[in-house]
Amino acid sequence: MEARVRLTGMVRHLIGEGECRASLADDAAVEDLLRALVERYGEKLGERLFRAPGELSGSVRIFVNNQAVTNLKQKLGAGNAGTAQISIVVLSPVSGG
Amino acid sequence: MLEASATNGKTDDVWIPSACRICYSHCAIRVHRVDGVVVKIEGNPDSPANKGRICARGLSGMMQLYDPKRLNVPLKRTNPNKGIGVDPGWVEITWEEALDTIAERLKKTRAEDPRKLLCAASVAVWDAMHVNLCFTTAFGSPNYFFTGAGTHCGNAEHLMSGVLHGAFTCQPDPDYCKYLLNFGVPVGCGAHYANNAMAQRLADARVNGMRHVVIDPWMGMAAEKADEWIPIRPGTDSAMALAMLNVILNDLGIYDVEHLKHHTNGPYLIGGDGHYVRHSKSGKPLVWDAASGQAKEFDDASVGDFALEGTYSANGVSAQPAFALLKEHVQRYTPEIASEITTVPAATIRRIAKEFAEAARVGSTIVIDGKTLPYRPASVVYFKGSQGHRHATLSAMAFELLGEVLGAANVPGATLGANSRSLGFPETGRPAYSPFADRDGLCAPGAWVTPDPPLPLRQSRKPEAAHFQDLVSTVCVCSPLIPFGMLEPEKYGIPYKVDMVIQTGSNLVTTLADPRVMERALRGAFVVNFNIFLDESAELADIMLPDASYLERHDIYLESMHSIVPTGWWHSTVAQPIVEPMYQRRPAQEMLLELARRAGMLGDMYSVMNVFYGLHEPYLLDPNETYTWEEVIDRRYKSLFGPERGLEWFKKHGVLSWPKKVEETYWAPFVKVRAPIYFEFLQTAGEDIERVKKECGIQEFETSDFQPLPDWKPCQSHVEPRKDFDLYCLYYRVPFHTFTSTYNNPWLDEISRIDPYVYNVTMNTETARKKGIADGDWIEIESAGTGVTAKGRVRVSQCVHPEVIAVGSGGGHWSRHLPVASQSEKGVCFEWLLPLNFDYVDTVSFNQDLCVKVKATRMAEQPRKTGTGWTVAPVPPGLLP
Ligand code: SF4
C-alpha cells in the first residue's frame, strides 16, 4: 500500500518539504509508517515524534484518512483501496501566559 | 452580512449579540448600532456567566473603535535606525505591497530555516493569538510567545493548577465556599479570570456568610472588600503559608486522612535520595500497606490501608511516606520565624491557620444532585503577586498544600480547577476531556491552553527554541528569557538566530521588564506588527498593519478559557463584527491566513487548525481547498455543537449554554488521579535539566529550586545590600485597564484621573513622613535592579505596607501616537524599574520576579503644572536619544 503523508509543524527544518509518500506492507500500521519516516529522515525526527520508545509525544497528532488516531497499532490501509492519506502535526512548544 | 432593521425612521437600529474582547474574560455583550454607528454596549443577559454585566472597559469599547489615533493604513519604516523613542519615519503603503513584502520574507526564511521566525501575541487579542500560534506551527518554528502583561503571568500558578487541579487556573467555589484565603488575587474584583461573572457570585457568597481574608502588601481591589486585610512584606507570603501548614499539621493535627491516602501521593514511599521507591519490575511507585505489612505498587487493588507515617524497608532501602516527610519538613517554619520574615504577627498566623483548617470541616459531606460528596468549604487562591517572585514555584506549592492537606480541592466549597473536566454538550458529547493519570498515577490535565501541559513530564532537550522551554521542561507558559535566546543563541547552542518577528497586538517593549533588553532583541530582526495603535513597540517595527478591533471582526470563542466560572453553566458565545472594518483596517486572523496562502503554506495552516480547534469530520479543513475565516469558525461551531449550530445560529442567538454536571465541577471523587503533595517529578526534571546542561556546556538555568517540598527563600530584593534602597516597589492590577492596551481610551482615562492612586505612586503615610515626603509631592524612584530612575507623584495612604511603593500597572506610556496615554502625569511604567535577567526569574516556571528594591527621594525641584500637564518626562531621561 501507499501512504501519502503531510508532515506539518516542528519538523520542517528536518524534512524540508512537508509532503512525502511511503510504500508499506498492505497491513501496515501507524507505527510502521512512523518507523519508515524515522529511517528516512533520521533519529532527530524520532525524537520529535516519540516521548519514549513506542510512546507518542504529547505534541504529536496523527490523522489517518481524516480520523484522529491515538493507537499506534491501528492499520493504515483498511477500506482505502491501497492508499492512505496521513496528516501528522507536530505542535510547537509554546511560550506564553 | 449583519442584520439590520428599520425602526423610528432610522435605516438601521439594531442590538447585536457578541463578546467583549478587551480582556480575556470575553463577557457576552449586546451592542446597539444606529445608522451604522455603535452607540451603546451592554452585558448580554442571556449569558449564564456575566448575566448581563460588563465592566468599565466593556462599556467604553466604542471609544476604542472610534479612537481618532487608531492605526488605519499599512505603514513601512524609512529610518533604518531602530530604537526606543526613534522616529521610524513611517510612510503609507498599500496592503498589496505590505503583504507581498512580508510573504517574500517568509518564503526566504522558511526555505533557509523556519525556526528563524518568532511570533508574539497578546492575550488581550485572544483570537489572533491562536491563529498566530497555528501560523507559527505551520511555518515550522518553535518560537511562539504570547504575553499578558508581558511576562507577568501566573506561570507557577498555572503549573500547580495543572498538576493539582487538572486545569490551567483555579477559582474558589463561589456556591459553597465559606472561607476564602486570598493571597493577593483580585478575584471577582476587577482583574482576574471571568471577572464580571465571579464578581456577582463572590458578592453573593459574602452575603451568604463567606469570610474573605486577603494577604497582600497593598490593599487592592480584593482587600478593600474583604473581612480582613493582612499587610505582608512582598515576596514572603509563602513563609506565612508554610507556618500555617506547620500549625495545621503539627499543632492542630487537622488533615484529611482519607483524601491524603486515596487522592494524593501522600502514601508513596520516598527513599534517601528523595525519589520514589519503585517496584523493581513495573517501575511504579511503592506504598506501604499497613494492613498486610508489605510494600505494594500504588495502584495495587489489594492495598488495605495506605500508611501515611512511619519508616519502612522497601526494595532494600529505608523509606518514609511522602506525607510524613512533608509534616516533618514544615516544622522548621514556626509562626515566630515566619513573623520575622513576613512582618505578620505570629498570633495572626496561628489564628488564620486555625480559622482556615476548621472552616474546611474535614470529614463532612454534602449531597448535590443526589450524589454524596466531601464538603470542604475553604479555598486558597493566589496568582501573579504572591507567586510573582524568584522562587515562584516553591511559593505556589506552599499555597496549594494548605488546601490539599485538608482535602479542599475540586470538591464542593474548595478551590476548583477552572474547567478541568468536560463531558461535552449533551447532543454531541463535545468538547470532552478529563484529567488523567500519568504513569505514576499523578494528575495530568485533559485540556491545556498550549501543547505543553506540565504533566506528563517532558524530557529536557538541548535548547532549540529561543524561549528555552525545551530545556526547562517544567515551563508550561511564558518565558521572559526569550530576548536572551534571540540575542545570544550561540551561547546556548541554539543553531540559528531569530531574524523575523510577527506580532499580533503585543506591546513587548512595555510589558517584558526592562524595555532596553527587548529593544536590543528586536533591533536585529525584520519586525511586522498587527496593531490597532502605534504603541511603543511600533518604534521597533519595520511594517505596521492596521488590525480590526473586536467590534469589527469575527473571532473564535474558546470555551475552555472563557467559560471559566467553575460552577453553574457551560456557555459558548458568538464573537461577531458590529460594523465592517473602517478605513483600511483588516482583521489579523484573516491576514495571517492570507500571508499563509502567499507564502505557500495554507495547507499546513489548515492541518494545524484542524488539530488546534478540535475539528471533526465532516468539518475538517481540506489542505487542498481554500476557506474564509468565517467558514473556519462555522466548521468549528458545527464540530462542537452539530450541524444545526453553525456560525449563523450563533449570530442570531448569541449564546449557547447548558448546565455543568456535578461530575464536571466537583470532579475529584469521580476521576482516579492523585495530586502531588510531594513534588518528586520536579526533582526528576531538575536532574534531567542538569544532564542536558552538562552535555551542552550551559551555565545558566540553575536547578536548586527543583525540590520536592516547598521552602521560603529570599528573592534578590530581600538580599539587596545597599541600605538606602529601603523600599520594595511593586505594581498592582488596575480594574479598569487591561495591561497597557487601554490607556488611550478617554473614558477610562477619566476614571483613572478621578481615582486618587492609579496615575500616582502610593506610599505608606508614616514612611513618607519619615522621608519628608508629603501627599502630592513628586519623587524620584531609583531601581536597585536596573539603575533607572523614574518619577512619580506620591499619594500617601495607610493602605499600603510601610516598606512598599505601589504603582498602578500599565501606565507611563511614551508613544507620541497615544496622546491621551502619553502624558507625564499618567502613571509610571513599572518595567523601567524591573530587571530582566536570570536572577529575577524562577527557574522552574520562568515566572518573572515582580518586586524590586528602590530608593525614593523627594525631587529637589518639584515639577510645575502647565496647561498640558506636568513638566516631567514620561520616559526616564537619558533613555531617549
Ligand atoms: S471583564 Fe473584560 S471582557 Fe468583560 S466587559 Fe470587562 S473588559 Fe470586557
Q: How many domains does chain A have?
A: 1
Strand blocks (E) in B596-681: 655-659
**Which residue of B20, B29, B47, B555 sits with most ligand 1 atoms within 8 Å of its CB, as the best mutation to test the pocket?**
B20
Q: Does pLDDT of B190 surpass 80?
A: no
> Distance, CA B479 to ligand 1 centroid (Å)?
26
Q: What's the CATH code of the domain at B28?
A: 2.20.25.90
Residue contact A93–B452, C-beta within 8 A: yes
Q: Does pLDDT of B373 surpass 60?
A: yes
Residue contact A12–B158, C-beta within 8 A: no
**Mean pLDDT, all residues of chain B:** 93
In a domain? residue B854: yes
B669 within 8 A of B373, measured Cβ to Cβ: yes
How many residues in chain B? 881
What does DSSP say about strands B91-92 and B526-531: parallel, antiparallel, or unpaired?
unpaired
B425 within 8 A of B570, measured Cβ to Cβ: yes
The parent domain of residue A58 ranges over 2-90
In a domain? residue B667: no
Torsions phi, psi of B243, nearest 5? -65, -40
Task: State residue B387's pLDDT score.
Answer: 84
In a domain? residue A20: yes
Among A12-26, B575-589, B714-728, B775-789, the least confident range: A12-26
Q: What is the mean pLDDT of residues B4-32?
A: 84
Q: How many C-beta atoms lie closer than 10 Å to residue B113's C-beta?
A: 16
Task: State residue B870's pLDDT score.
Answer: 79
Task: State residue A16's pLDDT score.
Answer: 82
* Ligand 1 contact via B27 beta carbon (within 6 Å): yes
Joined grid coordinates for residue B551 = 467590534
Q: Does pLDDT of B681 surpass 60?
A: yes
Residue contact B452–A61, C-beta within 8 A: no
Closest to A9 (Cβ–Cβ): which among B110, B137, B461? B137
What is d(CA A6, CA B621) in angstroms, rounded to the nearest whole number?
14
Task: State residue B173's pLDDT score.
Answer: 98
How many alpha carbons fall within 13 Å on the CB side of residue B37?
5
A50: chain B residues, CB-CB within 8 Å: none
Residue contact B450–A6, C-beta within 8 A: no
The parent domain of residue B250 ranges over 170-417
Decide which of B355, B382, B417 is a domain's last residue: B417
Tell me which DSSP letter residue B701 carries. S
Q: Does A96 touch chain B (CB under 8 A)?
A: yes
> Distance, CA B26 to ligand 1 centroid (Å)?
6
Characterize B767-801 residue by residue with b for buried, 16 or more Cβ atoms within 10 angstroms of its Cβ, and e for exposed.
bbeebebeeebbbbbbbbbbebbbbbbbbbbebbb
Q: For the segment B593-637, what is each residue's pLDDT rounded down to a tens digit?
A: 999 999 999 999 999 999 988 899 999 999 999 999 999 999 999
In a domain? residue A96: no
Q: For the segment B565-602, what is each residue's pLDDT rounded down to a tens digit?
A: 889 999 999 999 999 999 999 999 999 999 999 999 99
Q: What's the CATH code of the domain at B363?
A: 3.40.228.10
Residue contact B451–A8, C-beta within 8 A: no
Residue contact A97–B477, C-beta within 8 A: yes
In a domain? residue A50: yes
Q: What is the pTM of this model?
A: 0.95
How many residues in chain A? 97
Q: What's the CATH code of the domain at A48?
A: 3.10.20.30
Q: How many domains does chain B have?
A: 3
Q: H or E element: which one contains B236?
A: none
Task: State residue B124's pLDDT score.
Answer: 74
Chain A window 24-83: which residues touch B at a Cβ cutoff of 8 Å? 47, 51, 58-59, 61, 63, 66-67
Task: State residue A58's pLDDT score.
Answer: 79
Residue contact A89–B611, C-beta within 8 A: yes
* Ligand 1 contact via B25 beta carbon (within 6 Å): yes
ipTM exceeding 0.90, yes/no: no
Q: What's the CATH code of the domain at B795?
A: 2.40.40.20
In a domain? residue B310: yes
Q: For the segment B735-767, what is each residue's pLDDT rounded down to a tens digit?
A: 999 888 899 999 999 999 999 999 999 999 999
Q: What is the mean pLDDT of residues B131-152?
A: 82
**Which residue of B24, B26, B27, B65 sits with most ligand 1 atoms within 8 Å of its CB, as the best mutation to test the pocket?**
B27
In a domain? residue B529: no
* Ligand 1 contact via B56 beta carbon (within 6 Å): no
Q: How many C-beta atoms lie closer than 10 Å to residue B73's C-beta?
A: 16
Pick from B694, B686, B676: nearest CA to B273: B686
∠ CA B465-B85-B818 to the nearest 5 degrees?
95
Confidence label for B874 from pLDDT (cuts 50, 70 and 90)? low
Q: For the segment B257-301, what is each residue's pLDDT rounded down to a tens digit?
A: 999 999 999 999 999 999 999 999 999 999 999 999 999 999 999
In a domain? residue A97: no
Q: What is the mean pLDDT of residues B352-380?
A: 98
* Ligand 1 contact via B824 beta carbon (within 6 Å): no
In a domain? residue A79: yes
In a domain? residue A95: no
**Which residue of B21, B24, B25 sits with most ligand 1 atoms within 8 Å of its CB, as the best mutation to test the pocket?**
B25
